[in-house]
Amino acid sequence: MIEYKMELNDELKGILEGKEGKTKQKILETLVLFGDIFGAKRMVKVTHNEGHLVTSFGIPLLKPLFKTMDEINAEGIKAEGGFTCDPRPLDYANVKCNFLEKIVFNKILYGKQKDYEAQLKKAGLTDSDSFSCASYLKECGNRPKEGDILSWAESSAVVFANSVLGARCNRNSGMLDLFGSIIGYVPEFGLLLDEGRKATWIIEVKTSKIPEAQILGSAIGMKVMEEVPYVFGLDKFLGNEIDDKVEAYLKDFGAASASNGAVGLFHIDGLTPEAKKLKEKLIKEGAKTYVIDDAELERVYKSYPIMWKDKEAKAKLCFIGCPHLNYYQLNKWHEDIKKALLENHQEKVSCQCVLNAPPKVLNRFIKEESAKYKELYNMGVTVSSICPLMYTNNPLTHGKAIITNSNKLRTYSMARYFKDEEILAILAGKKVY
């Protein structure tokens, strides 16, 4: 048995002694050693039992993942509360691929997708529509309440759950997300503790208009890295209540801060749950200050490298919705694209455009807004639940001029970032670069 420092209850001691099998023993060893590094004094119960896994893709090279899943399946081990999972990497019906791309995806990149999904199902995947990075949206059902302890991964989901819902979750890695869900305990440190949720950065937003969520999040992420920012001046634009529109803004803001930095929790003065309750008591003494004005946002925007070989290339593919869109955003993009095309006397968008949303949000949209869904189709826009990040892993896509309004996708791919208004102009056939 491993040497460890934290206090364990009898149930966990038994698992660590191997009383529930070798695999569970190794799973708990991993969690305990991980917690010891951060001085966790104990393991605490996961109170929101449904987990969320970041690994949704069957890339054959992830041999350690498949081997561990085999061990888990072989011993009949399950996450009893179930779990949702990040989006699937493929959707041939809605995101076009040529013959060669399909071969690379099916045979090389995601050759183990089917096998991996079978492993996930055996380990406790909630259902076949549970593939989304935004499974916390109301339609999806995996929505923790304030104060809940989670065993989740997916940086954008963790930062949303912590900041917008007031739940408590560390930035867990893939594998540890599942391990915590299986054992039902996670090590108590960092963002699980009151002290770890205090801000060490004060952000003063002094822009003339509402900042682009994705650029503001990126600027803050790059500055504060993994520390906790407390943001002043944003409630002036967003108000003091979190409705679907504000939730969409905070979702995109948080995803950018988590991928361009390592933010796991932010507080927005007068808006997010803990900031509303505790106000400036949440700010640690000696916190550093970062002022963001129009010029700073523009500086950050201009600093993004353009990875296209031909910087003048005409856009071939546009991804909107990384992280996945909520219901409000789907409706809003429909409205905005329709308006942009109308104003520019166009009937169809200038390149293949994909709006990404969770399967359960799309099902609602198609059912309740079938006319809008048809209009989108007629304008050349498809809806999908794909993970654009995983799609762009295919080296064959590297020659494609892909545009996006996602700072996360920009970071992990060769896609070029544009602001929302620029995306609309490009889709309407205007030249903006």
Partner 1 sequence: MKEFKGRVIAKGHFIGEAAVTHAGFNTLASFQKSALMNKKEVYVSDQNNKELFNKNITGKILCLPMTIGSTTGGLVIQTVCDMKINPRAFLFSEEIDSLAASGIVLAKVWQNSDVICIDKLGKEFLDTVKTGDRLEIKEDGTVVIL
Residues that bind partner 1 (CB under 8 A): 26, 29-30, 33-34, 37-38, 54-55, 59, 61-65, 67-68, 109, 153-155, 158, 170-177, 190, 221, 225-226, 258-262, 305, 307, 393, 395, 411-412
Question: How far, rounded to the nearest angstrom, does the alpha carbon of residue 245 sit from its chain's CA centroid?
Answer: 17
At 373, the amino acid letter reads Y
Nearer to partner 1 (CB atom), residue 34 or residue 83:
34
Nearer to partner 1 (CB atom), residue 90 or residue 427:
90
Minimum CB distance to partner 1, residue 261 (Å): 6
Nearer to partner 1 (CB atom), residue 210 or residue 307:
307
Minimum CB distance to partner 1, residue 173 (Å): 3
Task: Give the integer Cα–Cα distance in Å for 252 and 414.
Answer: 19
Asked whether the beta carbons of 262 and 233 are under 8 A apart, the reply is no
Minimum CB distance to partner 1, residue 321 (Å): 17
Smallest CA-to-CA distance from 12 within 50, 57, 39, 44 is with 44
Minimum CB distance to partner 1, residue 81 (Å): 19
Question: How far, rounded to the nearest angstrom, does the alpha carbon of residue 313 sit from its chain's CA centroid?
Answer: 29
Q: Please, what sign has the CA dihedral across residues 358, 363, 367, 373?
A: positive
Nearer to partner 1 (CB atom), residue 193 or residue 262:
262
Minimum CB distance to partner 1, residue 337 (Å): 29
Minimum CB distance to partner 1, residue 176 (Å): 5
- As a whole number of Å, the end-to-end CA separation of the chain is 61
Minimum CB distance to partner 1, residue 94 (Å): 23
Nearer to partner 1 (CB atom), residue 326 or residue 413:
413
At 361, the amino acid letter reads V
Instruction: Give the residue ranges of DSSP H helices in 232-292.
Output: 235-238, 244-260, 273-278
Minimum CB distance to partner 1, residue 235 (Å): 27
Q: Write out the two tokens for 242.
A: 């979190």
Burial 222-251 (b: 16+ CB within 10 A, else e): ebbeebbbbbbbbbeebeeebeeebbbbbb
Nearer to partner 1 (CB atom), residue 199 or residue 353:
199
Nearer to partner 1 (CB atom), residue 37 or residue 432:
37
Q: What stretches of 114-272 adopt beta strand conformation (E)?
A: 185-187, 199-205, 229-232, 267-268
Nearer to partner 1 (CB atom), residue 301 or residue 412:
412
Scan for tokens 């010891």, then name that residue: 36
Helical pair 420-427 and 327-343, crossing angle rounded to 10 deg:
50
